[in-house]
């Protein structure tokens, strides 16, 4: 089997040539070259290692060094994370990398905890005794506590503050130097810790996390661009012009090309470092549930201060209205993109999604610039089929038949296969089966009057020509799925909804018959199946025939078939 990394070697070498400093760090640290290296190039890479050539400041011919991957890479997907971690290790070891700079200070809300603790300690310690001149009834609880608490409690509390806060402040001082804080910011952290202790240190911890994320994002974006180029190359293997050509051209776009460009923009055009400037967006992207929750508390607090009648509902509205990036993706679309970009953090992304869906009850039907919802992207296979996430969205009312601004449903996107790659087809087949199983309808027409069924039947015919009839029978998964579903729904007749195919039972409300033709059943409200189907149905819907057909001079008046 061909080496999956070696086959993309020239692309990766070209990409890495934009990062000369990283290559020098690889040569010096991993290649163990002690000379003063002035420049380096990657000449090849495979799963076991990479070959680098370098020049020294002393001059002389180019030399070569091989850096082994330990352990070897498992596949192409691993190139990106491994190269980043090797870069971080090398730069730290060489003293090239510095801790990220922190330039922000803000008082966290939680200082009221320490403030009230210290206040009550002062109160208990210094309240005047009864029968002294300054005594008032307000000091009775303090005297009661003083008399009844074990003797060591108050002194122990004071010692904790006196000993612990300076230690914490010393640690804050150390961090302020390490993270190159401006003088006043560092002073704020040190003095703040001396007074309030832990809450300020905790805030510092959040700022460090934010600063690290910032630096990781910067490293990642460069690699993401390489990934985008790679996807562009794969896409361009399909028919029509490539994505780059499409982006460069000014022609009005039609058919598959329009679809491709549309999809391209809605799924890939997101650059985390520049598009996710806010804490909330970053917390979502990195699956940081605790940061997200803290941000939500902060937002709600602001609504409380402004006197909003229902601060929590106001926060939910804010979250629902948030959009990121040039295609204006809403929060649940952002979670889907994050899952695809950082696959190793899937569990954290699901935790964030569940929190926003179940605890915050943020509606899942927000749309991006193309009018597509998160569920649409999760099942359209572009960018990827994510059944688990789709289920989560569906269970809280995500509409499987939702259309984008072009009137296309997810099925229409599934139908637009590029090329005849077997794995892509399997993904499309699974996604279409999911679509049907969750009430999907392929007869809904888009703004050009084209239905997903039409697209699939057309590409089925194309594929028959392309592959030959015998092979086609095994290799036309999409059309098979449609035929199977047609058969299933036909067999159920009026025992299934004519639009979504859901049958009776399972605690659902009984189906209702079309009151005009009385031979078509639909889900009961609040489902909108009848309304959604009307455009298609009205062509077939004839008023119900009377019991005995009318005749005139023995000739039937019902002339339809």
Q: What is the DSSP letter of 510?
A: P
CB closer to Zn ion, 205 vs 540? 540
Verify binding: residue 496, Zn ion, rule CB under 5 A: no
CB closer to Zn ion, 211 vs 517? 517
Q: What is the largest CA-CA distance in the chain?
A: 120
CB closer to Zn ion, 526 vs 554? 526
Q: How far apart are CA 54 and CA 28, in angstroms?
A: 10
CB closer to Zn ion, 306 vs 490? 490
Contact 103, 185 (CB under 8 A): yes
CB closer to Zn ion, 106 vs 538? 538
Q: How far apart are CA 186 and CA 105, in angstroms?
A: 9
CB closer to Zn ion, 364 vs 497? 497
Cα→Cα distances 545→187, 422, 424, 549, 559, Å: 88, 49, 48, 7, 12
CB closer to Zn ion, 173 vs 541? 541
Contact 455, 415 (CB under 8 A): yes
Assigned token pair, 466 = 């392309």
Site for Zn ion in 399-428 (CB under 5 A): none
Bridge partners, 140 (sequence order): none
Whole-number minimum distance, CB 544 to Zn ion, in Å? 9
Whole-number minimum distance, CB 514 to Zn ion, in Å? 3
Assigned token pair, 288 = 């940081």
Q: How far apart are CA 527 and CA 529, in angstroms?
A: 6
Whole-number minimum distance, CB 489 to Zn ion, in Å? 11
Whole-number minimum distance, CB 557 to Zn ion, in Å? 20
- The rounded Cα 229 to chain-centroid distance in angstroms is 20
Whole-number minimum distance, CB 532 to Zn ion, in Å? 8
CB closer to Zn ion, 142 vs 523? 523
Whole-number minimum distance, CB 415 to Zn ion, in Å? 21
Site for Zn ion in 500-529 (CB under 5 A): 500, 514, 516-517, 520, 523, 529
CB closer to Zn ion, 467 vs 492? 492
Whole-number minimum distance, CB 533 to Zn ion, in Å? 8
Whole-number minimum distance, CB 208 to Zn ion, in Å? 52
Interface residue with Zn ion among 154, 216, 341, 541 (CB under 5 A) is 541
CB closer to Zn ion, 476 vs 521? 521
Contact 24, 39 (CB under 8 A): yes
H helix or E strand, kind and range, residue 555? strand 555-556
The stretch among 3-11, 313-321, 430-438, 534-542 that binds Zn ion (CB under 5 A) is: 534-542
Tokens 């029509």, residue? 240
The stretch among 95-103, 128-136, 369-377, 489-497 that binds Zn ion (CB under 5 A) is: 489-497
Contact 425, 466 (CB under 8 A): no
Site for Zn ion in 206-225 (CB under 5 A): none
- Number of DSSP helices (H) and strands (E) in the chain, helices first: 24, 7
Contact 135, 230 (CB under 8 A): no
Contact 79, 12 (CB under 8 A): yes
The stretch among 58-66, 242-250, 398-406, 491-499 that binds Zn ion (CB under 5 A) is: 491-499
Whole-number minimum distance, CB 87 to Zn ion, in Å? 54
Contact 488, 514 (CB under 8 A): no
CB closer to Zn ion, 442 vs 497? 497
Whole-number minimum distance, CB 529 to Zn ion, in Å? 3
Q: How far apart are CA 373 and CA 205, in angstroms?
A: 35
Whole-number minimum distance, CB 16 to Zn ion, in Å? 54
Q: What is the DSSP letter of 130?
A: T
Rama region for 197: left / alpha / beta (φ>0; ψ in -120 to 50; rest): left
If one counts every other C-beta atom within 10 angstroms of the C-beta of residue 539, the result is 8
Tokens 């210290």, residue? 118
H helix or E strand, kind and range, residue 248? helix 243-248
H helix or E strand, kind and range, residue 101? none
CB closer to Zn ion, 354 vs 516? 516
513: three-class secondary structure by DSSP: strand
Site size with Zn ion, rule: CB under 5 A? 10
Whole-number minimum distance, CB 380 to Zn ion, in Å? 21
Q: How far apart are CA 547 and CA 561, in angstroms?
A: 17
Assigned token pair, 30 = 């991993």
Interface residue with Zn ion among 24, 411, 444, 497 (CB under 5 A) is 497
Q: Using CB under 5 A as the criterion, which residues of the chain lie in contact with Zn ion when the complex forms?
A: 497, 499-500, 514, 516-517, 520, 523, 529, 541
């Amino acid at each position: 089997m061909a080496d999956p990394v070696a086959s993309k070697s020239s692309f990766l070498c070209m990409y890495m040539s934009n990062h000369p400093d990283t290559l020098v760090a690889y040569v010096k640290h991993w290649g163990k070259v002690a000379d003063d290296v002035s420049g380096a190039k990657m000449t090849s890479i495979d799963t076991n290692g990479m070959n680098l050539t370098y020049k020294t400041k002393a001059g002389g011919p180019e030399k070569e060094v091989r850096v082994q991957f330990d352990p070897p890479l498992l596949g192409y997907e691993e190139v990106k994370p491994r190269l980043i971690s090797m870069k971080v290790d090398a730069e730290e070891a060489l003293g090239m990398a510095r801790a990220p700079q922190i330039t922000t200070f803000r008082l966290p809300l939680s200082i009221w905890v320490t403030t009230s603790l210290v206040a009550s300690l002062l109160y208990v310690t210094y309240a005047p005794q009864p029968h002294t001149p300054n005594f008032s009834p307000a000091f009775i609880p303090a005297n009661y506590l003083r008399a009844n608490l074990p003797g060591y409690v108050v002194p122990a509390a004071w010692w904790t503050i006196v000993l612990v806060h300076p230690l914490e402040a010393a640690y804050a001082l150390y961090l302020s130097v390490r993270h190159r804080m401006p003088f006043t910011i560092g002073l704020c952290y040190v003095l703040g810790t001396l007074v309030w202790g832990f809450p300020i240190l905790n805030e510092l911890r959040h700022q460090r996390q934010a600063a690290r994320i910032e630096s990781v994002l910067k490293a990642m974006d460069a690699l993401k661009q390489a990934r985008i180029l790679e996807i562009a190359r794969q896409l361009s293997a399909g028919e029509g012009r490539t994505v780059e050509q499409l982006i460069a051209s000014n022609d009005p776009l039609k058919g598959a090309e329009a679809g491709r460009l549309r999809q391209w923009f809605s799924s890939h055009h997101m650059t985390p470092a520049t598009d996710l400037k806010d804490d909330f967006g970053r917390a979502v992207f990195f699956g940081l549930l605790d940061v997200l929750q803290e941000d939500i508390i902060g937002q709600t607090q602001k609504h409380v201060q402004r006197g909003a009648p229902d601060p929590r509902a106001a926060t939910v509205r804010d979250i629902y209205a948030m959009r990121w990036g040039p295609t204006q993706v809403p929060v649940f679309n952002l979670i889907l993109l994050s899952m695809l970009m950082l696959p190793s953090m899937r569990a954290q992304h699901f935790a964030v999604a569940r929190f926003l869906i179940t605890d915050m009850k943020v509606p899942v039907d927000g749309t991006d610039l193309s009018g597509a919802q998160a569920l649409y992207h999760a099942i359209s296979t572009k960018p990827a089929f994510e059944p688990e996430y789709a289920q989560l969205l569906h269970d809280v009312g995500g509409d499987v038949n939702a259309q984008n601004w072009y009137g296309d449903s997810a099925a229409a996107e599934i139908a637009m296969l590029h090329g005849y790659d077997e794995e892509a087809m399997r993904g499309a087949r699974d996604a279409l089966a999911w679509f049907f199983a969750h009430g999907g309808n392929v007869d809904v027409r888009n703004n050009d009057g084209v239905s997903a069924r039409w697209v699939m039947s057309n590409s089925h015919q194309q594929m028959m020509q392309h592959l030959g009839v015998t092979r086609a029978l095994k290799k036309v998964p999409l059309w098979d799925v449609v035929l199977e579903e047609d058969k299933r729904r036909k067999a159920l007749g009026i025992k299934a909804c004519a639009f979504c195919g859901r049958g009776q039972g399972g605690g659902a409300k009984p189906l209702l018959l079309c009151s005009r033709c009385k031979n078509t059943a639909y889900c009961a409200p609040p489902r909108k199946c009848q309304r959604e189907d009307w455009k298609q149905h009205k062509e077939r819907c004839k008023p119900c025939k009377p019991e005995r057909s009318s005749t005139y001079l023995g000739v039937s008046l019902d002339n339809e078939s």
